[in-house]
A and B are shown apart, each in its own frame.
Chain A
Amino acid sequence: MKYLFLFFISFSINIFAQSIEITWRDDFKKELTFSCRASSHFCHELCSGDSVCYLEEGICRSCIGTGLKINFILSELGRSIRTTEEQYDSESFISLLKNNSFATLTSKDPYNIIDAFGSIKVYKKFESLCREGSLSQIVFLKLSPDDRSIQRPELVYCEYEDSVSLLKIHSSPDLEMTLLKLAFKHSIF
C-alpha cells in the first residue's frame, strides 16, 4: 500500500517536471535547469510553455560559513531534519521558485564547507531524505524575502530512474520513548 501511494505521488509530480538540474555557469553563478512537458501546468507557469527553462538562483545570505543555522542544518540532515511520505504541494513549489526566495543544497555543494567535499557520509545524509534508489537529491532551503537569510529547510527533490518526487521536510525529531515498565520487562523476565 505504501509503495502504491509513493508511486502515485511520483507519477503526479512527473506530470509537471521531468528533472531539475543544478549547474554552475562560467560566470560562477548557480542555475537551475528545468525539463518538463510543455503542456504541463508547471511548464506553463514557470517556463512559459517551453519544455526547458533556466532559473538563476539568488544569493543565500551566510550560507558559506560555519554559522549556527547552516551548521545545524548540515549536521542534522537525515536526523532531526527529515522527511516523511508527505508530499510537498506543487503550487507552493512553483510559488517558491517564482519568488526566488530559495537556495539549493546538494551533497556536492560549495556551500557546504563543514563536511569533507564529496564524502560518502554527506552523500548518505542526502540519500536518506529520499526513498531508496534515488539518483539525485536537492534540498530547497526557504529564504527570508527581506534579507535572504535561511528560514528553514523546506523540501527535497528526489530523482529516480523513472520518476521524481518532492517531499516536505520536517524539522522535528522522530523520537522513541520507552515507558519504564516496558523498559524493565526484559530485565524482569
Chain B
Amino acid sequence: MKLLMLYFLITIVHGKEWSKKDQDFFTMDSVIEFDNRASCAKKANLPTESVFLMVDNVNMAKAVYRLAKIRGLDPEVTMNSAIHQFNQGLSNLVQLVSNRLLSGDLALIDDQNLNEKYLEENWIKGSKVEFEKATQCRIVKKFSSLFSHLNVTRPDKVLIKKMAEDLSNLETSFKSCELSKDDIPTEMTLFQFNVKFNKDNRIDGFRFWYSLKVYLSWAFRFSPEIKEFMRPYDFIFRNVDLEEMILFFSNGCKSISAPVCSSHELNLSQLKLFSEDSTTFDLSSFDGTKPIPEGPLSELTSKPLPLREDDLLNLGGEVSASDWVSNFRENFLKVRGVQKLQLTKAMSQVFLLNTAKTPDELEKNISEEIHLYGEEFKTDLYYLCSEYKVATDKDLSFLLQDLMLLKEDQSVFETYKEIFDQNFKDSFNRFQLIINKIHHLCHGLNEKSFWNKFFEVKKDGFAHWYQQIVSKKEKFTIDRIVSHQFSPLKPFLKFKGGEVICYSAIHCSRILLDSMMTLTSLGKSMSTLRPGKNVISSNMSNPYSSHMACGAYDPWAKKNKLLFEFFHDLFQGVAFGLLPSPIYISADLEQKKLVSFSTLMKEGKVFYEPKYDPKKVHLSLIADLGPLTGIPCALSISGSRMNPLEYYSFSGISFSGCTQHSKVEIEANNAEDIRSSASSRNYCASCAINLQTVSSSVSSLNPVLRFSFFLLKGITRLVSNLRDPHDLHRNWSLSTHQVGLSYRYHGEISDNCVKDLMNGRSCIPKRCEGKMLEEFTKKFQVSPVESNFSCLTGNGVLWVKECQDPIYLSQPKNLKIITNCELQERVL
C-alpha cells in the first residue's frame, strides 16, 4: 500500500487547481436530448423514459379542511399536514408501482376491460418480492435551463453555460421527493419520474406506462401499502377522485402512449393550449367551448407546423413550476367547468324530454300548436324548421355525420348510463323519429307557403350552433339558452313547483336538437371531461405528436426528396455525358398532400383516417434547340399539374423561351453586360444562371465535363438541402454530469468545450482523467478542488473540498480508489 502511494507521488508532480473550488459540487446524472422538428416528430413513436406528474392538491385539501372543522381541529394545520402526506404518499406509490413493473414482479397489462379482482391478484403475487429502486423521483421547482430541451432545438455555448450554473444551484430547480416537515405545502405539485428501459428488463414502454396508470388507480384505493404511505389520512384520501386531480405528461419528444389519430388522443394532446397565460386566456373564444368546435384536426391542416422555439408549453423565462401548473390548472378548470355544465344540462334535457313525451305525442302537440296558434308561433316554427333542416342537411354532411356518430359514441353512452341509468341509444332512436316527424311537419308548412317571401326573423333567435354555422358568428356566451318568441300563459313542461324546462312543444323540440348538438361537440372532449377509471396522460410536450399520428407531417419526407433529387442529378449527369443531343429530362417529386380526414367509429371510439393527394412525380422533357437552330428556344413536354390523377403525364406541349424555367431574376439591361448581340444575349443571361437552361452551353463541352457539370450541380443542391435545420433529423445529447464537471474544472464553457460535450465527452484535457473523474464523482458526494493525472500510467490524485487527504485513483480495468477519506455515496 505504502509502495503504491509512493509510486503515485513519484509519478504525479503538480496538481491543477479547479476553478469553482469554493462551491459544493452538485450534479445530476441525466442525458438531455435536444431534437429538431423532424427528429422530435420521429421520436413520438418511441416510449418515453421520463414523465411529469402534475398534482392538483386543491380538492383533497378542501375535504381535509372541512373534516378538520367537523372534528374541531385547526383546519390550516391539518390541511398543510395532509397536503404534505398526500404528496409524499403519492410519490411513494408511483415509485412502488413503477419499480414492481420494472422488476417484472407486477405483470404488464394491455387489456382495456380489467376488473378489480384481476389487478388485486396480480398485486398480491408480486408483493413479497424484493425489488430494486429503479425509479428516480424529483419535485420540479423551476423550469430552468435544465428543461430547455422542451423549447430549444440545439444547445449553444450560452445555454450550456447556463445549464452548468443551474447545475451548481440544483436546489433551485429540484427538490427531493423525500419531503421534510419544513417544506411549505403548495396547491399544485409537479413531480418528475425517470425510469430506464434496458435490454435486461425487455419492457414495452407504452405498455409500461399504461400499466402504471391502471395499477396506480387501483393501488391508490385498495393496496395495503397505501394505508402505510398516507397514514393517518389514508381513508379520506382514498375517497378522492384521483383521476381528476392528476395528469401525466411526457418530458421531451418521446411519448407516454403510442400516437394514434383518434379523438381521444387528439383531445389529450390539445391540453397544451392550457399553458397559455390565464390572464389573457379567453374562454369564450376557446375552440372547445364553441357550439361547434373546429377540433384539433383543423389545426393539423390549417396551421403551419410549429418550431420547438415556438415554446407551445410557455416554459420560457425560467417560470416557477408551481406557477406554471397553477396557470395550467386555472385554464383547464375554466374550460372543464363550462363543458361539464353544458354536458350535464344537455344530458338532463334529453333525459327529461324523453321521460315526458313520446315522439308521437310531441308531434301531436306541435300540430296542435300550429293548428290553434300558428300565427303566434310563426317565428318559433321558422327557427324549428331551419334548425332541423340544417342539422340534417346532406350538404352540411359534417354536422349530420357527427350527429349520427353520437349514437355509437361509447363515452357518451357510458356517461348517460352512469348519471341517469338509461340507455342513450334508446333516447337517440327517439330523437331520430322526432327528426323525421318534424321534417314532415315543416315540409307541409312549406307546401302551404306558411312563411311568405317577406317574412323576416332575427338572426340571434336561432340556436347558438346554427348562428355559428349559418351566420358565421364567432363569439358566444357560455350559457346555451334556446330562446323562444311566443310563450303561452302556462309553460308546456316544468318541474313540479320548480323551473320551466320548455315553453311549448316547438320550444321543447328545439331544445332537444340543441342538446344533441351539444353532446356531439362535447363527445370529442370526453377523455378529459370524464376520465373515469383512467388516469389521464398526454404527449403534449411533443408539438408534432398529433401531426405524426394523423399523417399531417412526415419527418422522412425531406430526406426522401433530397435523395431523390441527388440521384436524379446523377442520372442526368450520366445521361447528359453519354447523349450527344441537349435533351434534359426533369423529374420533380411532389410529396403527398393531406387534404381531409374520414371519420371511423371503432368499438365506440372515434378515429380519423387521413386522405391524401397522392405522391406525384412530375416529368418533363426539354429539348434545347438553341445550339442547333441559333434561336434561344426550347421545346418542352411536361406533366400538367392541372390533372392530379395522372402521375406520369405528357399532356402539354409548349414552345417557350429559355427563361421560362428560370427562378432567378437577373438584371441585365444592355448587351455589353454579357455579349455583343443585344437581345439574345440578354435573354440567355438568365440561362447561364439556371442550371437547366445552361445545358445548351454545356452540351458543347466534352462528355466528361458535361458529366462533371451535372455532378457538381447535384452536389451543390445536396449540400444546400442538407443545411435544412428543421426537416432533416438532427439531435444532440448532453450529459448533465459532464457539463457540471467541465464547468467546475474550467470555470467557463469554451467553444471547444461545447464540441466535446456534444460529442459525449467532458472537456477535461486528459481523456483518462475525464473518464476517471466522471465515474468517481458520479458515485461519491465530493467537490473536487485539485487534480493531477497521468494517462501514461493511468493513475491520478484528487483533492476534494470535503477531505484534507488526497484520493488516489487508477483505472487498469475498473476504477481503483485509495484514500483515508470517508466517502459518502451520491444520491443523484
Contacts and interface: CB of A to CB of B under 8 A. Distances in A.
Nearest to B343: A68
Interface in A56-111: 59-72, 75, 79-80, 108-111
Contact of B495 (A72, A75, A147, A173): A173
A113 B235 contact: no
8 contacts: A24-B67, A28-B234, A28-B236, A62-B242, A71-B344, A110-B66, A117-B66, A176-B493
A174 B494 CA distance: 9
Given A62-B244, A63-B239, A66-B59, A24 B488 contact: no
Which size bracket describes the interface of A in this complex? Answer: 35 or more
Contact of A180 (B239, B245, B368): B368
Contact of B419 (A27, A72, A183): A72
B221 A146 contact: no
A125 interface: no
Interface in B389-437: 415, 418-421
Nearest to A27: B232
Contacts of A75: 344
Nearest to A117: B66
Contacts of B64: 110
Contacts of A110: 63-64, 66-67, 70, 236
A175 B501 contact: yes
Contacts of B497: 176
A183 B490 contact: yes
Interface in B75-90: none
A108 B495 contact: no
Nearest to A144: B116
A182 B529 CA distance: 42
Interface string A15-31: 00000000010011110
B419 A62 contact: no
Contacts of A148: 221
A171 B234 CA distance: 32
Interface string B229-269: 00011111011111111000000000000000000000000
B355 A62 contact: no
Given A28-B71, A184-B373, 9 more contacts: A24-B67, A59-B221, A64-B236, A67-B530, A68-B419, A108-B70, A173-B355, A175-B496, A176-B497
B139 interface: no
A68 B496 CA distance: 24
Interface of A: 24, 27-30, 59-72, 75, 79-80, 108-111, 113, 117, 146-149, 152, 171-184, 186-187
A149 B243 CA distance: 13
B355 A175 contact: yes
B239 A111 contact: yes
B69 interface: yes
A68 B103 CA distance: 37
Given A110-B66, A180-B365, A152 B493 contact: no
A184 B66 CA distance: 51
A87 to B, nearest CB: 21
A146 B498 CA distance: 37
B62 interface: yes
Interface of B: 59-60, 62-64, 66-67, 69-71, 115-117, 221, 232-236, 238-245, 337, 340, 343-344, 348, 352, 355-357, 365, 368-369, 372-373, 415, 418-421, 488-498, 501, 504-505, 529-530, 533
B490 A67 contact: no
A175 B499 CA distance: 10
A112 to B, nearest CB: 8
Contacts of A72: 344, 419
A180 B488 contact: yes
A24 B530 contact: no
A61 B236 CA distance: 10
A111 B498 contact: no
B421 A183 contact: no
A163 B208 CA distance: 56
Given A72-B344, A180-B365, A65 B240 contact: yes
Contact of B352 (A24, A62, A111, A173): A173
B124 to A, nearest CB: 17
A171 B498 CA distance: 16
B550 to A, nearest CB: 29
A187 to B, nearest CB: 5
Nearest to A174: B496
A71 B340 contact: yes
B85 to A, nearest CB: 11
Contact of B356 (A61, A79, A175): A175
A66 B235 contact: no
Nearest to A72: B419
Contacts of A184: 372-373, 488-489
Nearest to B231: A27
Contacts of A186: 489-490
Given A171-B420, A175-B496, A183-B492, A62 B340 contact: no
A186 B221 CA distance: 59
B62 A113 contact: yes
Nearest to A109: B66
